[in-house]
Amino acid sequence: MKTLFERIAAKEIPANLVYEDEHVVAFRDLHPQAPTHILIVPRKPIPRIAEATPADHAVLGHLLLKAAEVAKQAGLTNGYRLVINNGPDGGESVPHLHCHILGGRAMSWPPG
């Protein structure tokens, strides 16, 4: 069974896409936690970062480089936060690796 994010990447479920290529898709979060909240998701279904393997090296690097590009395109020139949740205690709600791009306001620390 496909994850929600696989279905978005396959355009089976509509989403507000802001970027896509053969490896990743980026779209606006339905429940934003900041003025700008974009998810960037690898098309390859990796359940979570703890389950990534050395074979995922290229897609993980691509994900981070594209996250920076998407943040720049979104106008986040004053800074932003990248978040990857892992497991239930880490806040993971969809078992498909994804990176949150949060910006448009000052971020506090600690985050949670």
| Active site (catalytic) residues | 98
Asked if 37 contacts 29 with a C-beta cutoff of 8 angstroms, the reply is yes
Rounded to an integer, what distance in angstroms lies between the CA atom of residue 35 and that of residue 109? 17
| Bridging pattern class, strands 17-20 and 24-28 | antiparallel
Burial of 19 (0-12, 13-18, 19+ CB in 10 A): middle
Residue 108, C-beta contacts closer than 8 angstroms, at least 6 positions apart: none
